[in-house]
Amino acid sequence: MTITGCGVLSAAGPGLAALAAALRDGGATAASEPAADPVGEFPPRPLRPVPAFDIRDYLGRKGTRKLDRFSTLGLAAARLALQGRGDGGEAVDAGDDETGVVLATSTGSLRSLTAVARDTLVQPKPYLVDPSAFPNTVMNSCAGQIAIWNGLRGLNATVAGGQVSSIAALRYARTALARGRARRLLVGGVEELTPAVAWGRHRVGGLLPDAALGEGGGFLVVEPSAYRPAERARGALAEVLAAEVAYYGGALNHRVSLADGLARCLERALARAGVDPARVDVVSAGSGHQVALRRIEERALARVLPAAGGRAVIRVADALGDCYSASGAMQLAALLAVWGDGDHPGGQRIGLVTSVGHDGNVGCAVVREARSADS
């Protein structure tokens, strides 16, 4: 599966260049106040919201009034991905029956859901609840909006899997393309920073005291590698060699630790990709500032990958904050941003994207850097 475009909207700003700059500086983006809520409504920890933007700059001025923030994050990131396709920036044609959308999220817009739920309780009459707000409460509303605004008539799916949602969506997209259900897919994840989500993450625990909470959207344009003509090979950003997910929670898997489960997932992905573990140059890790999950991830990687080799580790959460269900999309975008940041001679590099959740879900992807024919 070939990646031919990538769009990201994060605390670093819009685009891969902004993300690359944040990662290159080696520090976190500056903490700032959320655009949609007073900072006093959030728990006492750093926040990494997406800088204020106007969705009309991406979609035009008409028809955007009823879009909620979750949808605007997804629409902006998706439009960046479609406009920045690898094959010369060629946009996907409106009315495209062969292009679909696969969105990763855990709840959709929790802000819209809680607002409508509250109105049903506090309004004196049922008809006083704003009916135009209800579509935003549906989990797959954002995926539908992306398809409508961009004229994409292919398959449309929303995948929910907690921390591992984005990797699960990538796996879904890879299967759909392999079975011929689409010619091209826009796949990625969206996470919105709201007081309800922030307090939930804060109260559950597991995060370091100074760990930041983030938000954003990241999307990839992907298509089967076999469909790419030779003259368009320069447009490829990378190739996904394997994407695997598994579940190691609950009573059925009590004999397998989460670290061992992730290690098995990594071994399976590398075997299916035909990649020697010693060839992995960089790991884009997803645990971030989650103490227990970071230890689990490190144990699994130590079991699968050789100790030697000077392998780089990217922790995008250090720069963007913890983006939960969009973390995998941000990790993939970070990998592409690092690879595209400057000239790196030599053979094709191979990256490993890892993800693990407290619920027992694990996932990973093996990604190979694209090279032009004359490199």
Confidence bin at 241 (pLDDT 50/70/90): very high
Q: Are residues 283 and 344 in the same domain?
A: yes
266: its two tokens: 């990594």
147 lies in a domain? yes
Q: What are phi and psi of 314, to 5 degrees?
A: -100, 125
Which range is least confidently modeled, 189-198, 286-295, 314-323?
286-295
Give yes or no: residues 319 and 190 share one domain.
no
pLDDT at residue number 375: 43
Query: Looking at residue 118, which CATH number applies to its domain?
Result: 3.40.47.10
In this structure, are 222 and 244 located in the same domain?
no
Do residues 41 and 180 both lie within one domain? yes
Q: State the residue range of the domain holding 192.
A: 2-230
- The reply to whether 100 and 243 lie within a common domain is no
- Express each pLDDT in 324-351 by its tens digit: 999 999 999 999 999 987 655 456 799 9
Q: Are residues 156 and 254 in the same domain?
A: no
Residue at 219 is within a domain: yes
Same domain, yes or no: 160 and 284: no
Most confident of 119-123, 180-184, 369-373: 180-184
Per the domain annotation, does 374 fall within a domain? Answer: no
DSSP character for 152?
A: B
For 281, phi then psi, to 5°, come to -95, -30
Query: What was the pLDDT predicted at 94?
Result: 47
Residue 339's SS3 state is helix
**Which of 230, 255, 278 finishes a domain?**
230
Domain assignment present for residue 165? The answer is yes
Mean pLDDT of the chain, nearest integer: 86
Count of structural domains, the chain? 2
Q: Provide the β-strand partners of residue 140.
A: none
Residue 225: what pLDDT?
83
* Whether 248 and 205 share a structural domain: no
* Mean of pLDDT values over 109-135: 82
**Residue (of 151, 328, 291, 156) closest to 211 by Cα position:** 291
- Domain's final residue, options 206, 230, 254: 230
Decide if pLDDT at 87 tops 70: no
The H-or-E segment that residue 200 falls in is helix 195-204
> Last residue of some domain: 230, 253, 285?
230
- 6 in a structural domain: yes
Token pair in block for residue 68: 């909620």
Whether the predicted pLDDT of 114 surpasses 90: no
| Residues 145, 246 share a domain | no
375, part of any domain: no
Alpha carbons within 13 A on the beta-carbon side of 243: 24
Segment 192-215 shows an average pLDDT of: 86
The per-residue pLDDT for 134 is: 81
Same domain? 211 vs 273 = no
Same domain assignment for residues 146 and 177: yes
Q: Are residues 258 and 294 in the same domain?
A: yes
pLDDT at 95 (0 to 100): 55
- In the prediction, which pLDDT does 228 show? 55
CB 142 within 8 A of CB 109: yes
The pTM (predicted TM-score) of the whole model is 0.90
Least confident of 45-54, 72-81, 244-253: 244-253
